[in-house]
Amino acid sequence: MSLLRVEGLAKKFGGVSAVEELSFDIPAGKVYSIIGPNGAGKTTLLNLLTGVYQPSAGRIVFDGHDLTGRAPYEYASHGIARTFQNLQVFFNMSALENVMVGRYLQEHCGLLSALLRFPRLARAERACREQAAELMRYVGLQDYLSTASDAMPYGALKRLEIARALATEPKMMLLDEPAAGLNPTEALELDDLIGRLTERGVTVVLVEHNMRLVMGVSDHILVLDYGRKLAEGPALAVRNDPKVIEAYLGSNAAHEGALAGEIASAVAVAVEMRR
């Protein structure tokens, strides 16, 4: 059963097409990864799927609702949450408050109730604080419960964004390069966290360059190149797809049937060269 359906999606910046004629379905309850070289349009696609960009053409249907052209907060209210490649942490607040902001959809109330602080709101606030603390422990941030967010290390901030996104009680969570900038140990812990997200019933959409992580956790993979779909399918099929290997390594390597581990290191090189 598909949770998200994308039909003929396109995005142009001026005359440049970042995403072209893209159609795919994301099944519920799975880990769906989007990979591709730098500039392939992965982050543009995430921005389209969360309403941050408006598509030039195409439709986005989530959980039976056509969300094409809606604002980001409407995507959120339908159950799509995300993290950012370049962090969008609220640095003027404590870590806990960042997660509490994520509870906005569940907690927000009328202006009068907020100004006069009705007892019901005061109780809800205490509950909200506890739920936020619980989520911080869930993502492994129990040591930062009373820390200001701008005093936290980079790896912890990435988890903080995941906790904030989880606080919205999403059906689908989009992770934009969660492993970027993490050390190998932290990246390993991410596998476990993503696994637990799906156990919670959250569909995970992962954009990532770290092939070890992608191959380890993905059920489905979509490969983008120049804003177009290069390949799509179950993880195992995609990693042995000659077209994919060719895109990453050039045509010779395709015949040699490179293993996933080799792809990972080659991807890193290919990515560097494209830069």
Q: Which residues bind other proteins (CB under 8 A)?
A: 50-52, 71-73, 75-77, 81-82, 84, 88-93, 97, 100-105, 107-109, 111, 113-117, 121, 125, 128, 146-148, 150-151, 164-165, 167-168
Least distance in angstroms from the C-beta of 184 to other proteins = 28
Least distance in angstroms from the C-beta of 23 to other proteins = 24
Q: Buried (b) or exposed (e) across 178-206, using 16+ Cβ within 10 A? A: bbeebeeebbeebeebbeebbeeebbbbb
Integer Rg of the chain from CA: 20
Least distance in angstroms from the C-beta of 230 to other proteins = 28
Query: Which residue, 134 or 256, is less far from other proteins as judged by CB?
Result: 134
Q: How many residues does the chain have?
A: 275
Least distance in angstroms from the C-beta of 146 to other proteins = 8
Query: Which residue, 86 or 252, is less far from other proteins as judged by CB?
Result: 86
Number of separate helices (H) and strands (E) present in the chain = 13, 10
Query: Which residue, 1 or 116, is less far from other proteins as judged by CB?
Result: 116
Query: Which residue, 71 or 259, is less far from other proteins as judged by CB?
Result: 71
Query: Which residue, 51 or 155, is less far from other proteins as judged by CB?
Result: 51
Q: 69 has which bridge partners?
A: none
Nearest to 151 by CA among 98, 214, 83, 230: 98
Task: Transcribe 217-231 into DSSP letters.
Answer: H-SEEEEEETTEEEE
Least distance in angstroms from the C-beta of 59 to other proteins = 20
